[in-house]
Amino acid sequence: MKRALFYAALALEEAFGVYRAASRRAGRLEEAVKRVEVGEPPLKRAVYVADLEQIKQLAEEEEAFEKALRVLRERLNEYAVKYRLGDLLDVDEGKARGLAEAGRPELPEFGDANFGVKALAALLAYRERALGRRGAYGTAAKYWLEEGGSAWLLYYSPSTAYDRAEKAKAERPVSVEGMVAEALRRLFLRPGRDRHRRFVELLKGGELALELERETKSSYVFKLYRLRKAGSRSWA
Protein backbone atom coordinates (compact mmCIF):
# COMPACT_ATOMS: atom_id res chain seq x y z
CA MET A 1 0.00 0.00 0.00
CA LYS A 2 2.76 2.45 0.89
CA ARG A 3 4.67 1.73 -2.32
CA ALA A 4 1.52 2.07 -4.43
CA LEU A 5 0.61 5.34 -2.72
CA PHE A 6 4.11 6.69 -3.32
CA TYR A 7 4.10 5.91 -7.05
CA ALA A 8 0.52 7.06 -7.58
CA ALA A 9 1.37 10.40 -5.96
CA LEU A 10 4.57 10.61 -8.02
CA ALA A 11 2.62 10.04 -11.25
CA LEU A 12 -0.05 12.57 -10.26
CA GLU A 13 2.53 15.23 -9.35
CA GLU A 14 4.31 14.82 -12.70
CA ALA A 15 1.06 15.06 -14.68
CA PHE A 16 -0.22 17.98 -12.63
CA GLY A 17 3.08 19.79 -13.22
CA VAL A 18 2.60 19.52 -16.99
CA TYR A 19 -0.90 21.00 -16.80
CA ARG A 20 -0.08 23.57 -14.14
CA ALA A 21 2.78 25.07 -16.18
CA ALA A 22 0.49 25.61 -19.18
CA SER A 23 -2.35 27.04 -17.10
CA ARG A 24 0.00 29.55 -15.46
CA ARG A 25 1.19 30.74 -18.88
CA ALA A 26 -2.39 31.15 -20.07
CA GLY A 27 -3.57 32.90 -16.91
CA ARG A 28 -6.91 32.57 -15.17
CA LEU A 29 -10.22 32.62 -17.02
CA GLU A 30 -11.37 35.71 -15.16
CA GLU A 31 -8.30 37.62 -16.37
CA ALA A 32 -9.29 37.10 -20.02
CA VAL A 33 -12.53 39.04 -19.60
CA LYS A 34 -12.97 42.49 -18.07
CA ARG A 35 -16.20 44.14 -16.94
CA VAL A 36 -16.35 47.77 -18.12
CA GLU A 37 -18.96 50.55 -18.16
CA VAL A 38 -19.83 52.09 -21.54
CA GLY A 39 -22.07 54.95 -22.66
CA GLU A 40 -23.36 57.99 -20.79
CA PRO A 41 -26.19 58.20 -18.24
CA PRO A 42 -29.02 57.27 -18.51
CA LEU A 43 -27.85 54.81 -21.18
CA LYS A 44 -24.75 53.73 -19.31
CA ARG A 45 -24.42 49.94 -19.09
CA ALA A 46 -21.97 47.18 -18.21
CA VAL A 47 -20.33 45.03 -20.88
CA TYR A 48 -17.75 42.26 -20.74
CA VAL A 49 -14.73 42.82 -23.00
CA ALA A 50 -12.60 39.79 -23.91
CA ASP A 51 -8.91 39.60 -24.77
CA LEU A 52 -9.02 37.23 -27.74
CA GLU A 53 -5.31 36.46 -27.65
CA GLN A 54 -5.57 35.30 -24.07
CA ILE A 55 -8.68 33.29 -24.93
CA LYS A 56 -6.62 31.52 -27.60
CA GLN A 57 -3.95 30.76 -25.00
CA LEU A 58 -6.60 29.30 -22.75
CA ALA A 59 -7.74 27.11 -25.63
CA GLU A 60 -4.17 25.90 -26.17
CA GLU A 61 -4.15 24.94 -22.51
CA GLU A 62 -6.60 22.19 -23.47
CA GLU A 63 -3.82 20.46 -25.42
CA ALA A 64 -1.57 20.63 -22.37
CA PHE A 65 -4.30 19.02 -20.30
CA GLU A 66 -4.58 16.15 -22.79
CA LYS A 67 -0.82 15.72 -22.54
CA ALA A 68 -1.05 15.65 -18.75
CA LEU A 69 -3.67 12.90 -18.96
CA ARG A 70 -1.39 10.85 -21.22
CA VAL A 71 1.53 11.29 -18.84
CA LEU A 72 -0.58 10.18 -15.88
CA ARG A 73 -1.91 7.07 -17.63
CA GLU A 74 1.54 6.11 -18.90
CA ARG A 75 3.21 6.52 -15.52
CA LEU A 76 0.52 4.62 -13.64
CA ASN A 77 0.76 1.77 -16.13
CA GLU A 78 4.57 1.82 -15.98
CA TYR A 79 4.67 1.65 -12.19
CA ALA A 80 1.90 -0.96 -12.04
CA VAL A 81 3.86 -3.30 -14.31
CA LYS A 82 7.33 -2.59 -12.95
CA TYR A 83 6.41 -2.97 -9.28
CA ARG A 84 3.49 -5.39 -9.67
CA LEU A 85 0.99 -2.93 -8.23
CA GLY A 86 -1.78 -3.45 -10.76
CA ASP A 87 -4.60 -3.92 -8.25
CA LEU A 88 -3.76 -0.60 -6.64
CA LEU A 89 -2.75 1.47 -9.70
CA ASP A 90 -4.88 0.12 -12.54
CA VAL A 91 -7.38 2.73 -13.72
CA ASP A 92 -11.06 2.11 -14.33
CA GLU A 93 -11.73 5.18 -16.50
CA GLY A 94 -15.49 5.01 -16.03
CA LYS A 95 -15.15 4.94 -12.28
CA ALA A 96 -12.60 7.77 -12.35
CA ARG A 97 -14.90 9.99 -14.39
CA GLY A 98 -17.79 9.10 -12.12
CA LEU A 99 -15.78 10.22 -9.09
CA ALA A 100 -14.68 13.41 -10.85
CA GLU A 101 -18.33 14.32 -11.54
CA ALA A 102 -19.84 13.13 -8.25
CA GLY A 103 -21.60 15.46 -5.86
CA ARG A 104 -20.95 15.32 -2.13
CA PRO A 105 -23.75 12.78 -1.44
CA GLU A 106 -22.25 10.35 -4.00
CA LEU A 107 -18.66 10.44 -2.71
CA PRO A 108 -19.12 7.53 -0.24
CA GLU A 109 -19.89 5.29 -3.25
CA PHE A 110 -16.22 5.66 -4.25
CA GLY A 111 -14.76 4.78 -0.87
CA ASP A 112 -13.13 1.63 -2.29
CA ALA A 113 -11.51 3.39 -5.27
CA ASN A 114 -7.85 2.49 -5.70
CA PHE A 115 -5.01 5.00 -5.98
CA GLY A 116 -5.01 4.91 -9.79
CA VAL A 117 -8.69 5.77 -10.03
CA LYS A 118 -8.37 8.59 -7.50
CA ALA A 119 -5.30 10.00 -9.28
CA LEU A 120 -7.07 10.20 -12.65
CA ALA A 121 -10.25 11.51 -11.03
CA ALA A 122 -8.24 14.21 -9.25
CA LEU A 123 -6.73 15.53 -12.49
CA LEU A 124 -10.09 15.44 -14.29
CA ALA A 125 -11.88 17.10 -11.37
CA TYR A 126 -9.21 19.78 -10.97
CA ARG A 127 -9.61 20.70 -14.63
CA GLU A 128 -13.40 20.80 -14.37
CA ARG A 129 -13.19 23.06 -11.36
CA ALA A 130 -10.75 25.38 -13.16
CA LEU A 131 -13.42 25.78 -15.84
CA GLY A 132 -16.05 26.79 -13.31
CA ARG A 133 -17.79 23.48 -12.69
CA ARG A 134 -17.60 22.98 -8.94
CA GLY A 135 -17.75 19.21 -8.38
CA ALA A 136 -17.08 17.90 -4.88
CA TYR A 137 -13.90 16.04 -5.80
CA GLY A 138 -12.72 19.10 -7.70
CA THR A 139 -12.83 21.03 -4.44
CA ALA A 140 -10.68 18.37 -2.78
CA ALA A 141 -8.28 18.16 -5.74
CA LYS A 142 -7.78 21.93 -5.93
CA TYR A 143 -6.98 22.23 -2.25
CA TRP A 144 -4.68 19.23 -1.86
CA LEU A 145 -2.82 19.60 -5.16
CA GLU A 146 -2.18 23.31 -4.72
CA GLU A 147 -1.08 22.77 -1.13
CA GLY A 148 1.37 20.03 -2.11
CA GLY A 149 -0.74 17.31 -0.53
CA SER A 150 -1.26 14.90 -3.42
CA ALA A 151 -0.37 11.91 -1.25
CA TRP A 152 -3.04 12.90 1.30
CA LEU A 153 -5.57 13.38 -1.49
CA LEU A 154 -4.97 9.80 -2.61
CA TYR A 155 -4.65 8.37 0.89
CA TYR A 156 -7.95 9.76 2.20
CA SER A 157 -11.30 8.46 1.05
CA PRO A 158 -12.95 10.92 -1.38
CA SER A 159 -15.41 12.00 1.32
CA THR A 160 -12.67 12.70 3.87
CA ALA A 161 -10.50 14.52 1.33
CA TYR A 162 -13.45 16.76 0.46
CA ASP A 163 -14.51 17.42 4.04
CA ARG A 164 -11.01 18.38 5.14
CA ALA A 165 -10.57 20.64 2.12
CA GLU A 166 -13.88 22.36 2.88
CA LYS A 167 -12.84 23.02 6.45
CA ALA A 168 -9.48 24.41 5.37
CA LYS A 169 -10.61 26.70 2.59
CA ALA A 170 -13.96 28.33 1.85
CA GLU A 171 -15.36 28.17 -1.67
CA ARG A 172 -14.95 31.19 -3.96
CA PRO A 173 -18.11 32.10 -5.91
CA VAL A 174 -18.17 31.63 -9.69
CA SER A 175 -17.76 34.94 -11.51
CA VAL A 176 -19.68 36.06 -14.58
CA GLU A 177 -16.33 36.94 -16.18
CA GLY A 178 -15.15 33.37 -15.77
CA MET A 179 -18.27 31.92 -17.37
CA VAL A 180 -18.03 34.32 -20.32
CA ALA A 181 -14.37 33.46 -20.86
CA GLU A 182 -15.10 29.75 -20.71
CA ALA A 183 -17.82 30.07 -23.36
CA LEU A 184 -15.43 31.94 -25.66
CA ARG A 185 -12.56 29.56 -24.93
CA ARG A 186 -14.64 26.71 -26.30
CA LEU A 187 -14.92 28.48 -29.67
CA PHE A 188 -11.22 27.85 -30.20
CA LEU A 189 -11.24 24.15 -29.26
CA ARG A 190 -11.30 21.35 -31.82
CA PRO A 191 -13.75 20.79 -33.39
CA GLY A 192 -15.28 24.00 -32.05
CA ARG A 193 -12.78 26.38 -33.60
CA ASP A 194 -13.36 24.83 -37.03
CA ARG A 195 -17.13 24.85 -36.61
CA HIS A 196 -17.09 28.51 -35.57
CA ARG A 197 -14.38 29.72 -37.97
CA ARG A 198 -16.62 32.41 -39.50
CA PHE A 199 -17.47 33.67 -36.04
CA VAL A 200 -13.78 33.94 -35.16
CA GLU A 201 -13.03 35.73 -38.44
CA LEU A 202 -15.79 38.22 -37.66
CA LEU A 203 -14.12 39.14 -34.39
CA LYS A 204 -10.74 39.99 -35.92
CA GLY A 205 -9.85 43.65 -36.03
CA GLY A 206 -11.98 44.74 -33.11
CA GLU A 207 -12.49 44.17 -29.40
CA LEU A 208 -15.16 41.70 -28.52
CA ALA A 209 -17.76 42.77 -25.96
CA LEU A 210 -20.80 41.10 -24.47
CA GLU A 211 -23.73 42.85 -22.85
CA LEU A 212 -25.70 40.97 -20.22
CA GLU A 213 -29.28 40.89 -21.56
CA ARG A 214 -31.01 38.75 -18.95
CA GLU A 215 -30.34 36.24 -16.21
CA THR A 216 -32.25 33.01 -15.58
CA LYS A 217 -32.00 30.48 -12.77
CA SER A 218 -29.51 28.38 -14.75
CA SER A 219 -27.78 30.73 -17.21
CA TYR A 220 -26.86 34.19 -18.43
CA VAL A 221 -27.93 35.50 -21.86
CA PHE A 222 -25.63 38.00 -23.60
CA LYS A 223 -25.69 40.23 -26.66
CA LEU A 224 -22.36 40.11 -28.47
CA TYR A 225 -20.78 42.91 -30.52
CA ARG A 226 -17.48 44.55 -31.50
CA LEU A 227 -16.37 47.87 -30.06
CA ARG A 228 -15.40 50.49 -32.64
CA LYS A 229 -14.15 54.07 -32.61
CA ALA A 230 -15.88 56.67 -30.47
CA GLY A 231 -17.84 54.02 -28.62
CA SER A 232 -19.86 52.87 -31.66
CA ARG A 233 -20.57 49.18 -32.05
CA SER A 234 -21.76 46.61 -34.54
CA TRP A 235 -23.77 43.59 -33.47
CA ALA A 236 -22.30 40.17 -34.15
DSSP string of 47-111, one letter each residue: EEEE-HHHHHHHHHHHHHHHHHHHHHHHHHHHHHHHTT-HHHH---HHHHHHHHH--GGGGGGGT
Within 8 A by CB and 6+ apart from 217, the residues are none
What H or E segment, with its residue span, contains residue 192?
helix 192-195
By the 8 A CB rule, do 141 and 153 touch?
A: yes
Strand order in the sheet with 220-227: 33-38, 45-50, 207-215, 220-227, 233-235
pLDDT in tens, 175-222: 666 666 666 666 555 544 454 444 444 445 455 566 666 666 655 566
Average the pLDDT over 117-141 and give the result: 88
| Terminal Cα distance for the chain, rounded | 57
pLDDT in tens, 36-67: 777 777 767 777 676 666 666 666 667 788 89
Please tell me the distance from the alpha carbon of residue 218 to that of residue 236, in angstroms, as a whole number. 24
Domain definitions of the chain by residue range:
2-27+57-168
Q: What are phi and psi of 114, to 5 degrees?
A: -80, 180
Q: Kindly report which listed range (89-98, 161-170, 215-224) carries the lowest average pLDDT score.
A: 215-224
3-state helix, strand, coil in the chain (%, to 5): 65, 15, 20
Res. 125: pLDDT tops 90: yes
